[in-house]
A and B are shown apart, each in its own frame.
Chain A
Amino acid sequence: MGDEGAGSTVHLLCLAASSGVPLFCRSSCGGAPSRQQLPFSVIGSLNGVHMFGQNLDVQLNSARTEDTTVVLIVGLEELTNIRNVERLKKELRASYCLIDSFLGNSELIGDLTQCVDCVIPPEGSFMQETLSGFAEATGTAFVSLLVSGRVVAATEGWWRLGMPEAVLLPWLVGSLPPQAARDYPVYLPHGSPTVPHRLLTLTLLRGLELCLLCGPRPPLSQLDPQLLERWWQPLLEPLRACLPLGPRVLPEGFPLHSDILGLLLLHLDLRRCLFTVEPSRNKEPSPEQRRRLLRNFYTLVATTHFSPEPGPTEKEEDEAHPAQSPRACYLVLGPGEGWRLVALQLGLRLLLLMLSPQSPTHGLRSLATHTLQALTPFL
């Protein structure tokens, strides 16, 4: 599988490693899917490089050019035994939508952080109770309430889902075209890679969907409007209040410092995150730029200073005893505007903020600490 970007163009190329047959190739230009394809000679060379290295027990991971173009070559897991390439290609078409949404400019960040994008609902406990009751009534342990790909509330069972699928399921629901109800077969890469499960989705309000992950039972027909109405009618007002939470994540009136332009809070153990670029909407830069800045900042922070995976970090700390462990870092962008980016790790929580230029650098840490403390009860 190859992944490569040139300028703002991203190509995702999937090859069968053994035969070199291209399985699919998706491209996106500036966030939108594009028809532009890699020339065949390039595809051939990429495969050739991989094959050549493999014969000599050398695996090429990545290559960089001057404008930080990244080529990632990851050997495709040979798990899936490809019997018929053409049939596989057809089957893969079903996932184009999801793949394209990864290449595009999503509002979510779960792909990067491997944490589930969440929102903080008003009257969260009430909603949680209702969800649990509903799950019991339908006989499924895995139920969640999603608003545009972000989890509003979910049952204990849902939160116990393994890592790829916990991020992928909400992402998939968010990327599918709106429908009143779906019955969608899914494989769970971690929990059940070979046996498909059913993903049922029911739209409560436009953008607000109820998801159930289940086996053969219950059939979709059992989840009739009466059942939904009985459970969710009393919560109509809180549900309505959830709708704008899609991009905003934090409830109305949450006390956030006025300098904050963007926020990303991760809980490294629960693998959940809050991500928003909505505060002070009217100010520069645009939400799109803020999102990209925060994404880039997260990449920098995660690769150079804080390792998001607990495993390797401990190992490194063992080596560099006594622990010189990073706790916070900040970045002042320049030479122009001077937006500030600050990251702070406290225990299992990692907070990244984007701040306006008038925020003094020496106050960044206390500002981040206060914000983190304010957010701690929610995540």
Chain B
Amino acid sequence: MSGPAWRDSHGRPAEFPGDMSSQEEEEEGDCDAEASGLDSRSSASSDTDLEPEWLDSVQRNGELFYLELSEDEEESLLPETQTVNHVRFSEKEVIIEEDDTRERKKYEPKLKRFTKILKSKKLLPKRYHKKNSSDNGPVSILKHQSNQKTGVTVQQRYKDVTIYINPKKLTVIKAREQLKLLEVLVGIIHQTKWSWRRSGKQANGERLVVHGLSPGGSAMKSGQVLVGDVLVAVNDVDVTSENIERVLSCIPGPMQVKLTFENAYAVKKETAQPKKRKTQSSTNDLVKLLCGSETDSIQHGILDTPHITMYLTLQIQSEVSKEEQEILYHYPVSEASQKLKSVRGIFLTLCDMLESVTGTQVTSSSLHLNGKQIHVAFLKESDKLLLIGLPAEEVPLPQLRNMIEDTAQTLKFMYGSLDSAFCQVENTPHLDHFFSLFFQRALQPDKLHLSASLSAQQYDAASAVLLDSLPGVRWLTLPQELKVELDTVLSDLEAADFEELSEDYYDMRRLYTILGSSLFYKGYLVCSHLPKDDIVEIAAYCRQYCLLPLAAKQRIGQLIIWREVFPQHHLQPPADSDTEVFQEPKGRYFLLIVGLRHYMLSVLLEAGGCTSKATGNPGPDCIYVDQARTTLHQLEGIDSRIEERLASSPGLCLSCADWFLAAPHEKADNLTTSPILNRLQGSTKTVTSPTCRRTFFSDYSFKTRKPSPSRSSGGYEPGEGGEGVVPSPHTTPAAVRKQRESNGSEDSMALLKLARKKSTLPNPFHLGNSKKELSDKELEVYNTMKLTSGPENTLFHYVALETVQGIFITPTHEEVAQLGGSVHAQLIKNFHQCCLSIRAIFQQTLKEENRKVLRGEDHSESADSMSSLTAVKEHGVLFECSPENWTDQKKTPPVMAYWVVGRLFLHPKPQELYVCFHDSVTEIAIEMAFKLFFGLTL
């Protein structure tokens, strides 16, 4: 699909892909033509907005983390936080010698040159000084306080003025030849000196003195901009007369823009002092974005909790005895963490001593500090030691173990090895950011404003304990047609035969091979063409940066991430030297993530295999970014269908725990009065006709359920056909009984299901989830509405992990929200905590099993493993709960008992299943597992 067809999220025509290629075509010359190309481009493109808005954010090492919120999100966020809308991670520019940069340029492949040209036009270094509450200066920031006169604290040299800019209203004017965006958009009149115009490009340009304010313009409205002020920065980007138009043209849509002025009075004084720059890093931008305005208080709360991560070396050069030389990296620097840092000697000694005594590596230790128990997890790699310490009451030990492994995996994915991550100074700000997010998630998961609704947020916080450490990605099963559609779209992208990428087009080798891509929708993996190891690593990366929940809440106007990655699966040395076996090329790998609304597309690229070798630190290539974006735009129509599937899972029907806590007599009432009985009775006739059944299968979907009506009503409007399937447990037993009476020969479950089908209305979206190649019999299993056996639906919750494909399924946020219920929320929380401890046992079993495989033993159990609990395949815990705030003193509160059962399957492939069901029916985990895993394929 070609570019020009779509518009970006701000309605601005996105012309640059097309333009760019034509530009590129003209510039077939050698690299030295760069300068002229640059000129021609800038003249030609002055009004076409050629440069992608993210380009300025690309860092010297090629990495890009560009996040732009969607417009409505922006509006909701701005009044409270006043943050700049672009989250950029280029805070600490790494200074690379000039000649080095030049040298690199020579090797740059042609396709990328264009990007480079744009990049070389990069404006002056950005300034980041963020607003603290204390840093607001004398000038009010709120735009609507226009009456307030400037604070006129003369001593203040700089002032920040936030004004609202809407480039949309200018699109008509824009066509005119000479743009004066500063005047039109901001309302500031600046007369460029003739001499400057003449001399063309000056390195520094001219200071932007406000010569006048255009009437009715934003600047005048703000009442804070005075004639004589000097505009020095826009959104912390230094501006001069030379670059102001370009900077302003980068503003993609209506938004608040921060203008920094040098006060008129101060200018006159002309103090020679350099601007005092805030060295505060902007690493907390994402945290701020995720937490909203409470960031500061949250962070203070966190700082009081002792927590630490350290990377220590066990080999200390004795000749240079520097203080703390064994610490290669540590975070955070806080009072509470200081103590943990000071006892690092203990960890080093333990690590050394225990390994020599026991022959195995130390994994964790617990210690008491200021009356708090702290767990410290160890991860030793060669002669380095990674430590993470967190309070026991916040993070149980099994979770901490998982977290440190997860962290190490992600860091290796990002940097290749722990050494290269921690031992390079330029990574430090990135790591600080990484770990600030990490501890934020670990210590205050419920404070992160990630989820769309309160219930979803509770669900997220409760389930993170377990789900974050599963070696898999949350998967959403989709109907077959939809899946095929998504597969096709992704395959088209992966084929990379679009015009700009074909090798003939530029008569040169491709830059990258697309190894595979995967598509997330609202944080659910909906389609993946990546091997398990890659998708798990990519998902872990996204999780660490909270990207998946971000997408769930439509906060993304545009997200582009580009970085070199080190997928361990591809970089492993070949196991055998057999030439017949496929050998991984010695290439480099790049991860491109493009987000748009609820979609997120991650693409894994390989350079150096059958494509040209990557040199230096290549930045994101426009063509690949645009193709990924185009792909996402192609998918725009599908989201309503995915949405529908999110709201109603195809196979499983859940019950809410609160329903089971009701008094028994009410239950009986409901059973007798339920109008659904009549309908079911009437519909059983259709069952006898198999042909009719088949048509239903292929053409009709069934709306699984609606948000449950209050259970006391018990009735369902007969007019609503979609109500055939009811989430209430009370109706089913009676229904089944009736069915048995009317037709004893058939399987009652199938009958019930078919009866439901009959009662549904045809769905305009044609959303059947039938697998046509399956026989009817199998189909019934696939479509089973109930996971549990017995007449009542007793399933509360489930998590099923499929390790071969690296996915897991669990009820969606929507499904859980539909159930509601305060007891149910507690149950879900308890379920996940319990599963964590069950899983800790399974992990030992798996480890033991791996060890056995390595030793080449069969399944004859050694005496040792038999008497320890290292071989467990099923573990169940029965819980009792009663409603909270039981006020009735006379009666004892009703009690509901439920099982949390975990089952580990080793053969034929490792799978893990965790279910939570009511105690009334005895369940056999294997049967439930069969039903859950059946038909679960990527």
Contacts and interface: CB of A to CB of B under 8 A. Distances in A.
Interface in B837-886: 837, 841, 844-845, 849, 859-861, 863-864, 866-869, 871-884
Interface of A: 4, 6, 8, 38-39, 42, 45-46, 48-49, 52-53, 56-69, 71, 285, 288-289, 292-293, 296-297, 300, 304-305, 320-338, 361-363, 365
B345 to A, nearest CB: 6
B878 A365 contact: yes
A157 to B, nearest CB: 38
Interface of B: 339, 342-343, 345-346, 349-350, 352-370, 373, 823, 826-827, 829-830, 837, 841, 844-845, 849, 859-861, 863-864, 866-869, 871-884, 897, 904, 906-907, 922-925
Given A65-B358, A67-B360, A304-B837, A333 B871 contact: yes
Contact of B354 (A8, A65, A327, A363): A65
Nearest to B364: A64
29 contacts: A6-B357, A6-B358, A6-B359, A8-B864, A42-B353, A48-B349, A52-B343, A56-B342, A57-B339, A58-B346, A60-B367, A61-B373, A62-B366, A63-B364, A64-B364, A67-B358, A71-B354, A292-B868, A293-B867, A322-B883, A324-B830, A325-B881, A326-B877, A332-B874, A333-B866, A333-B871, A334-B874, A335-B873, A361-B876
A65 B363 contact: yes
Contacts of A46: 353
A6 B841 CA distance: 20
Contact of A329 (B861, B876, B923): B876
B365 A60 contact: yes
Contacts of A338: 873
Contacts of A361: 874, 876, 924-925
Contacts of B877: 305, 326, 328-329
Contact of A331 (B373, B844, B849, B874): B874
Contact of A325 (B349, B369, B844, B880): B880
Contacts of A293: 866-867, 869
A314 B516 CA distance: 53
A39 B358 CA distance: 12
A69 B360 contact: yes
A46 B350 CA distance: 8
Contacts of A58: 339, 343, 346, 367-369
Contacts of A300: 841, 869
A296 B849 CA distance: 19
B366 A297 contact: no
Nearest to B882: A322
B514 to A, nearest CB: 39
A361 B899 CA distance: 12
- DSSP majority for the A interface? mixed
B878 A332 contact: no
Contacts of A67: 358, 360
Contact of B859 (A39, A60, A327, A335): A335
Contacts of B882: 322-323
Nearest to B401: A64
Contacts of B346: 49, 52-53, 58, 60
B876 to A, nearest CB: 5
A357 to B, nearest CB: 11
Contacts of B873: 332-335, 338
A267 to B, nearest CB: 20
A14 B641 CA distance: 68
A300 B837 CA distance: 10
B64 to A, nearest CB: 39
A249 B343 CA distance: 50
Nearest to A72: B366
Contacts of B864: 8
Contacts of A321: 884
A324 B827 contact: yes
Nearest to A322: B884
A264 to B, nearest CB: 15
B353 A336 contact: no
Given A289-B867, A304-B837, A336-B861, 19 more contacts: A42-B357, A49-B346, A49-B353, A52-B343, A57-B370, A59-B368, A60-B350, A63-B365, A65-B355, A66-B361, A293-B867, A322-B823, A323-B881, A325-B879, A327-B879, A331-B841, A331-B869, A335-B849, A361-B925
